[in-house]
Amino acid sequence: MILELLDRYYDGAPRDHAEAQEVGGFTVFVGEPGGWTFSARPQLGWEGEYDASAVAALVARMTELGLPPVLEWVHDTAPSLLDAVTADGSLEVDETPLMVLGERRLTRAPDEVRVRMIGPDDEEAFVASNAVARVAFDDSSANDAGAEARDQARRPPSSTALSLLHAGTARVAVAEHPQHGVVAGGRHIEREGVTEVVGVATLPAFRRTGLAAAVTQLLIDDALDRGCSTVFLTASSPAVAALYSGLGFERVGTGYVAEL
């Protein structure tokens, strides 16, 4: 079943870079200090029911570990969890359509922009793409935020992020404007023939020009060329889901993200 395959991916991918701890039907992933943080997830194979007390215990444990209390799950494989999170009341819940690539539909980038996969040693483009994502996913960013905002958001990448890039596990695509440099980007992260497209982002000043679709298309092409049999993603909103539907992704389930 495709949802069980995705659950195994979600459970396995963080284990390569973090210590897994079981907390009352959940798995918490503890990464390197100052590095990536991972969402908690339902324990793989857990057959019990979830309740508000279990969610409260999870939040307390993550807080104790110094982790942001974020919980992600597939509703179809953990149906009791939504009511438990709602009953606990400490976390805000967002629905994220879960989509898997079906029949591909082709798109193209604007003529003035170059879309490419970056190499394992292209740390400059990697840093720029991460900065684009920080600006794009920050709700406080101005609608005309562009290259200047990106440059202000540059940060040195964590050792975990660099190791994924250098090993080729994280495959990164960028869209480069001839005057403004990297203005969009995204990545896919492979594991055992399954890959997730994540972090596709465009600087606000360059949105609605087809860049996100072009970056995603290149990530799809790269994943299939590398032999991945399943390409999936979660959409942050119905509008984003519609964009991905236009590239051939089909909704197969419902995911949820709960955080403070």
Cα-Cα-Cα-Cα dihedral sign, residues 119, 33, 232, 113:
negative
pLDDT of residue 17: 84
pLDDT of residue 51: 96
Cβ(58)–Cβ(26) below 8 Å: yes
Mean pLDDT by 10 residues, the chain (260 residues): 94 91 96 83 94 97 96 96 97 96 86 94 96 96 96 91 87 97 97 95 95 96 96 90 93 95
Complete edge-to-edge strand list for the sheet that includes strand 194-202: 70-74, 249-259, 92-101, 230-234, 194-202, 181-191, 170-177, 114-117
Long-range (24+ apart) CB contacts under 8 A made by 42-46 are 42/73, 42/77, 42/78, 42/81, 44/7, 44/8, 44/11, 46/78
pLDDT of residue 10: 96
Check whether domain 114-253 has CATH 3.40.630.30, yes or no: yes
pLDDT of residue 113: 95
pLDDT of residue 230: 97
The boundaries of every CATH 3.40.630.30 domain in the chain are 114-253
In whole angstroms, give the CA distance from residue 217 to residue 250: 15
pLDDT of residue 95: 93
pTM for this prediction = 0.92
